[in-house]
């Protein structure tokens, strides 16, 4: 693997909640233009979001015991990160109203992080009571989407997140940040890369250990992904970023591959391609975990996740939901088996 990246020194700074973090200086422009890899690591962390993003939009209420079985099966695939549920208002997302039960009934395997979404301190308090070790706040790069999804402006959301992060840190809980609509908004259309970078920088400085950049409605292409990342990596180190690509327009794998060229080594995905945000019109599923695993493995990256086992889990949940498996790789492998 080519390593031609000269990352400038970082210097420690104290963030707004008193934590020492490293601030990334601007990347030299020439590095972005060479196309060379800013990281020589071939290890990629997969964040499985199927139990949360995958199921939150299902019309049919999925019983807690099915969710628990689904998560327990995922826990046997080699994953190290499973986004398990959301502590959100049950009026807004009824499918996640059993968050507490799910967290208490799953078999937690050491070495796996079972995280949950928390939009506010009420969600965080519930997550703490359920013994959650990592939470995610979720904001947006688009004002309208922010309002539709969490009923407040971007600035208001950042204020709320500040409270969540402070309290989470006091309780020894790590906080991940999501930014929705980084490559387009269902209500406002195009989103400026600078708007994404601005929100990403704020979330990172507030204390998110990682910021996941979400193409909520899957409209991005490698071209728009590259432009957006060029802006974002000027203000947040590439090794503190993740990508979260929905596959609505069939661009997700290409977009993820583009992100790898920028050194990003954390990829969110959803087994069997389940998912979509209930507040993003037209949003379909996340990129299928099986498809990501196949691409990464055949391209020389390591994830530690067993593709065959993941295909079985995808078939299990697809059978329950009475729908065909949304992963092309799972369909191809299952056809070859029979």
Ligand X SMILES: CC(C)(COP(=O)([O-])OP(=O)([O-])OC[C@H]1O[C@@H](n2cnc3c(N)ncnc32)[C@H](O)[C@@H]1OP(=O)([O-])[O-])[C@@H](O)C(=O)NCCC(=O)NCCSC(=O)C[C@@](C)(O)CC(=O)[O-]
Catalytic residues: 277
CB of 115 to ligand X, least distance (A): 11
Q: Which of residues 224-253 bind ligand X (CB under 6 A)?
A: 244, 246
Distance, C-alpha 178 to centroid of its chain: 7
Q: Hey, what's the torsion of the CAs at 264, 239, 201, 51, to 10 degrees?
A: 70
Rule CB under 6 A: is residue 171 a binding residue for ligand X?
no
Q: How many residues bind ligand X (CB under 6 A)?
A: 26
- From the CB of 95, what's the least distance to ligand X, in Å? 9
**Shortest spacing between CB 322 and ligand X, in angstroms:** 23
Q: Does 56 bind ligand X (CB under 6 A)?
A: yes
Residue 177, φ and ψ in degrees, nearest 5: -115, 140
Of 143-162, binders to ligand X (CB under 6 A) are 149-151
Q: Are 114 and 103 spatial neighbours (Cβ–Cβ below 8 Å)?
A: yes
Q: Using the minimum distance from each CB to ligand X, give the nearer residue, 115 or 120.
A: 120
Judge contact between 311 and 290, C-beta under 8 A. yes
Range 119-155 burial, b when 16+ CB lie within 10 A, else e? bbbebbebbbebebebbbbbbbbbbebbbbbbebebe
Q: Name the one range near ligand X by CB under 6 A: 63-71, 87-95, 234-242, 302-310.
A: 87-95
Contact positions with ligand X (CB under 6 A) in 88-127: 88-89, 92-93, 117, 119-120, 122-123, 126
Residues of this chain that bind ligand X (CB under 6 A): 53, 56, 86-89, 92-93, 117, 119-120, 122-123, 126, 138, 149-151, 178, 180, 214, 216, 244, 246, 277, 279
């Amino acid at each position: 693997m080519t390593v031609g990246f000269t990352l400038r020194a970082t210097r420690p700074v104290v963030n707004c909640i008193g934590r020492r973090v490293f601030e990334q200086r601007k990347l030299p422009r020439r590095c972005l233009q060479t196309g060379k890899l800013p990281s020589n690591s071939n290890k990629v962390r997969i964040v499985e979001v199927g139990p949360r993003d995958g199921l939150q939009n299902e019309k049919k209420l999925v019983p807690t015991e099915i969710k628990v079985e689904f998560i327990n099966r995922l826990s046997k695939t080699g994953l190290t990160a499973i986004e398990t549920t959301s502590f959100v208002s049950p009026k807004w997302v009824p499918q996640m109203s059993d968050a507490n039960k799910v967290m208490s009934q799953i078999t937690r395997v050491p070495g796996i992080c079972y995280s949950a979404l928390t939009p506010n301190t009420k969600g965080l308090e519930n997550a703490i009571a359920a013994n959650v070790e990592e939470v995610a706040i979720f904001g947006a790069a688009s004002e309208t989407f922010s309002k539709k999804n969490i009923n407040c402006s971007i600035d208001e959301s950042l204020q709320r997140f500040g409270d969540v992060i402070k309290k989470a840190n006091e309780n020894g809980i790590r906080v991940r940040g999501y930014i929705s609509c980084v490559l387009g908004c269902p209500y406002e259309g195009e989103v400026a890369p600078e708007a994404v970078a601005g929100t990403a920088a704020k979330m990172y400085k507030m204390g998110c250990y990682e910021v996941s950049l979400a193409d909520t409605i899957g409209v991005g292409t490698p071209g728009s992904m590259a432009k957006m990342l060029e802006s974002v990596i000027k203000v947040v180190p590439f090794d503190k970023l993740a990508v979260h690509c929905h596959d609505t327009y069939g661009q997700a794998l290409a977009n993820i591959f583009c992100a790898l060229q920028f050194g990003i080594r954390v990829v969110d995905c959803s087994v069997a391609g389940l998912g979509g945000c209930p507040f993003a019109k037209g949003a379909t599923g996340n990129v299928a975990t099986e498809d990501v695993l196949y691409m990464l493995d055949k391209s020389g990256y390591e994830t530690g996740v067993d593709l065959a086992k993941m295909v079985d889990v995808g078939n299990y949940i697809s059978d329950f939901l009475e729908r065909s498996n949304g992963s092309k790789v799972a369909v191809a492998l299952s056809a070859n088996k029979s």
